[in-house]
Structure 1
Amino acid sequence: MKKNVFNYFSIENGDDKEFEITSKDISIIRDIEKEQEKNEKLPSEMDYEGIKDHYEKIVVCAAANYLYKHEIEFNKVYAIKDLLKELKVIPGYKDFARYLFRILESNGYVEINNDNIKINESAKELELNAAVEEAKNKYPDFALQIEFIKNCVLEYDSVFKGEKEGNSVLYPDGKYDTILNIGANTPDITRKPIYINAFPKVIKHLITKKEKNKKIKILELGGGTGIITWPLLEELRGMNVEYYFTDIGKSFLVMAREKAENMHYDNVIFKQYNIEKTYAEQGFEKEAFDFIISMDVLQVSYNLEAAVNNLSGLLKKNGIFACVQSFHTENINYLSYGYAPGWWNYESDPLRKGKNIMLPSDEWIKLLSRLEYKNINIIYDSLNNKYDKFGFIFANRPDRVEFFEPVNKGIEGKIVNGSNAENNKEEISKEILNIVGTTIGEEIAEDSSLLEYGFDSLSLLIVSSKLKEKYHINVSVKRLYDIDTVKDLVAYIKQCISENETTENTQTQAEGSENNVTQLLDIIENL
């Protein structure tokens, strides 16, 4: 791919300076942050004295619990690669397993020297159930969260072996109900709501620096479930803004499009975007956006510095890079979100390998400075200047920018309307194509490859859930990964339904009964 580096040393007109972040802007942003903190009246770790220590105890016990499931010899020296082989850990979860080893090492239960590991007999003292019950009893407000974490831990063995998809633990049946319920019923002591709820006001302030009649283009990376999307769109309703909602997962795009239509946001464009690739590879034009925004997205990159560098060419001159960002995450979060796709990518990043998935605020300043971003500002806890684990990042685009020439046009996904066809053999293909298409928001051909359409484990989990609901068939995500094309998937479902009908007819004749649904489902689920 051709690329060019340009250096802008002069400004031809005043427009280019309209979005330049000034000390006055930072003062206003800090005032917005302070006011939001006063309004939120959030609890903090100080209100739940000792909770962090209890969480750390659960983390250590969780790591030990994983090893208890195997006949690991204490005080024996293993080569780490041999231990991973004995534990049958698949490649995608080796970093997760190594993380658990490091947790035990940092607490004195394991000795790691170079590539060897020895598990001390003192690890036998660690009891996960006891640690969980103790924490739930002392902090009942967090019981739902603690129990969820325990359930995640208990699935390590099956997930690490590849017998079960990690996403199916986080999102049962491809739904977010469990996590959303925990979030709604657990106190938030992270201070995140302050910055999430202040962000729309901050962006609106920065937009008003531009002339009123000029269209503002905003690109959101990793929109996901729309935590910052919907409050921001509502704050900007009626303004001349074109909003690009992007995510690597097409299922998120489909859900976001439906919500935008229901909320009557007609200024939103939905496109897939992978931060590991250049914008040109994905059909985006250079210097297209006034703002690039995100919330806790960039840390999933294999190389954070390269990802941020690639983004600079998407911004117009003096365009704004703005993030709602964590600067540290606690070990307790690894126990569950370690299942999430992309979580362990940071172990390939020279800046973060063996450290924390999140980059500290001072390291963010160094990174952006190396890339020559301008007017770099990290803002957190303006009231007390104490809590530095979460906050804002603001910077103007560098003058020196690496541009890439487009190689293809981006294709906006379409939502396929549902079909009311009956489940007869002539309509099965249409129904399955509809299920697959509505999951990713595109019309899809029967001879298409599932993976070529951008299916990830979450998308396939949703497809599996829809197939179960429609045809009463349990198809594991692992099985879907083994199916290459939509045509093969259709053939498989037809086979299941055909066997279903054959079994039903046989039992009806033999028993003279039509009430055999439970038996049929048992047969189908065991296919």
Structure 2
Amino acid sequence: MTSGGVVEELARRAAAAGEAAVAGADLASLGDLADLLDQAALLAIAYTLRRHGLFEAPGAVHDLREIRDAMKVAPRHVRIVRRWLDALEREGMIERDGEGWYRNLRRVEAAEVEGARGRLDLVARGFAHGPGLTRFFQQAVSYLPELLRDEISLQALLFADGDLDVADDVYRRNLASRYTNSAAAAVMREFAERRDATVRVLEIGAGVGGTTAEVLPELVGLDVDYLFTDVTRFFLVAAKERFASWPWVRYGLFDLNRGAVEQGCAPGSVDLVLAANVLHNARHAGRVLRGIRELLSPDGRLVFIETCRDHYQLMTSMQFLMSPPAGDAEADFADFRAGTDRIFPTRQEWLDELAAAGFRDLLCVPGPDHPLSRIGQHVFSAER
């Protein structure tokens, strides 16, 4: 089969697996649920500002420093507040002048926030979308002041009492994740089936193993050596228990922002790299992609899942996981996102970065016209 034919077959199998995983679901209405989540997040942001005494007096104006100080924002979370203000301005809920003074914040009371959350709960009940997902976003909204002050961590909400059930709803059981995880698993199986030697798999940033849990069954019966990695041992302990029945899975630490060689991975030593919802953490996307390419064997393949559009709901939840460390609060991206407060590259930006890094035979599902593109989750794959 020609190179182009292989890519077409990979894309076909990936799309078919994704569609099968969400068969019968109302994907169009899922976009409406995402919009409700965003609306609830915007109201909660505005209410959080007001409950700290900001913009209460008629004609009151504040700059970022005053807003930050009033809410006692931890230095590493200041960029989240900047993103909040940008979102409010974009949606016409606040005004900013040329000198950086904010005024006329839309008045939002607790009753309006609760009403939005009630509508969200009502709509969410109609979806097989991971029942804990919406509840998690709701809980995060309730703790916004404490999250901003670093008095509570988002991890404490996501992994309460060491329970991974909510995290599974966030990373595995919701509709978008069901599509992307199944599509990624199909690409990996198709790749492994074509190899006549042991397939050396490296999963980077595996976290709670939401994608791993869908991938491993697809690799049963194939000659695979699977290395499950994350930047912290926290997830490795849970993964060893969760995947104990898969004897060909190994576990180790790996930091995508460090050189692979210094972490014991030789160039050309991996056939298949999987990265699910982690590459946006690359301080320099192009540099990390080039490093992964060097790690791959000839004709090796990279498969990754990424969120490719911003959601206001993420600004009130998951983005607290993406703030710089407390000891380096000013740390920023070193690529095209530097100085922008952006986190997620777009679909096209990822495709451009892959091409610039020297990858070929690029594929991306679902396509831009698919209903799930409104959510912004995509599976990418490319060959060295």
User: TM (normalized to structure 1)?
Assistant: 0.63
Q: Which amino acid aligns with 1:390?
A: Q
| Paired residue type of 2:114 | N
Corresponding position: 1:83 with 2:57: no
1:163 aligns with 2:151: yes
Q: Of the candidates 61, 70, 80, which is equivalent to residue 43 of structure 2?
A: 61
User: Contact 1:217–1:241 (CA<8 Å) still a contact in 2?
Assistant: yes
Cα pair distance change 1:271/1:101, threshold 3 Å = same
CA apart distance, 1:330: 2.5
Q: Structure 1 residues 134, 260: closer, same or farther in 2, change over 3 A?
A: closer
Partner residue in 2 for 1:216: 199
The answer to whether the 8 Å contact 2:76/2:324 transfers is: no
Matched residue, 1:497 = none
User: Structure 1 regions of 5+ residues with no counterpart?
Assistant: 1-19, 398-527
| Cα pair 1:66 1:153 within 8 Å, conserved | no
Structure number with greater Rg is: 1
* Deviation by residue 1:3-52 (Cα, 9 ceiling, x = unmatched): xxxxxxxxxxxxxxxxx982111222233234321463142342468434
SS of structure 2 residue aligned to 1:351: coil
3-state SS of paired residue (1:339): helix
SS in 2 for 1:291: strand
Matched, 1:333 2:333: no
Shift of 1:342: 5.2
Letter in 2 for 1:231: E
Contact 1:152 1:170 in 2 (8 A): no
CA RMSD of aligned residues (A): 3.0
Q: Deviations over 1:349-372 (max 9, x none)?
A: 543354753222211121112222
Matched, 1:358 2:339: no
1:367 paired to 2:353:
yes
SS at match of 1:62: helix
Counterpart in the other structure of 1:395: 382
Counterpart of 2:363 in structure 1 is 377
* Contact 2:260/2:295 (8 A) holds in 1: yes
For residues 96 and 226 of structure 1, do their structure 2 counterparts lie closer, same or farther at Cα, with a shift above 3 Å needed?
same
Deviations 1:133-191 (A, max 9, x none): 2332344336854443232122121221232223212222333234446788x8x443x
Change over 3 Å in CA distance of 1:233–1:149 after alignment to 2: closer
Secondary structure of 1:197's aligned partner: helix
Q: Deviations over 1:284-319 (max 9, x none)?
A: 222111111111110122222222222222112232
- Opposite residue 307 of structure 2, the aligned amino acid is S
Q: Deviations over 1:425-461 (max 9, x none)?
A: xxxxxxxxxxxxxxxxxxxxxxxxxxxxxxxxxxxxx
**Selected match of 1:272 from 253, 269, 284:** 253
Partner of 2:162: 174
Cα–Cα, structure 1 residues 196 and 343, in superposed 2: closer, same or farther, change >3 Å?
A: farther
Is contact 1:204-1:236 (8 Å) kept? Answer: yes
Q: State whether residues 244 and 268 of structure 1, in contact with CA within 8 Å, keep that contact through their aligned partners in structure 2.
A: yes
Hey, what does 2:185 align to over in structure 1? 200
Superposed counterparts of 1:350-499, under 5 Å: 350-352=335-337, 354=340, 357-381=343-367, 387-388=372-373, 389-397=376-384
Q: Distance between the aligned counterparts of 1:244 and 1:82, measured in 2? A: 48
Per-residue CA deviations over 1:374-406 (Å, capped at 9, x if unaligned) read: 222223249x65643333222222xxxxxxxxx
Go from structure 1 to structure 2 and tell me whether the alpha carbon gap of 1:313 and 1:41 turns closer, same or farther (over 3 Å shift).
Answer: same
Q: Would you say how many aligned residue pairs link Structure 1 and Structure 2?
A: 370
Q: Could you tell me how far 1:343 is from its partner in structure 2?
A: 8.3
Q: Read off the aligned partner of 1:362 and give its amino acid letter.
A: Q
Are 1:230 and 2:213 counterparts? yes
Q: How far apart, in 2, do the equivalents of 1:110 and 1:120 lie?
A: 5
- After superposition, the C-alpha distances for 1:27-81 in whole angstroms (9 at most, x for unaligned) are 2223323432146314234246843443232121111121122121343332312
Q: Which residue is equivalent to 1:414?
A: none
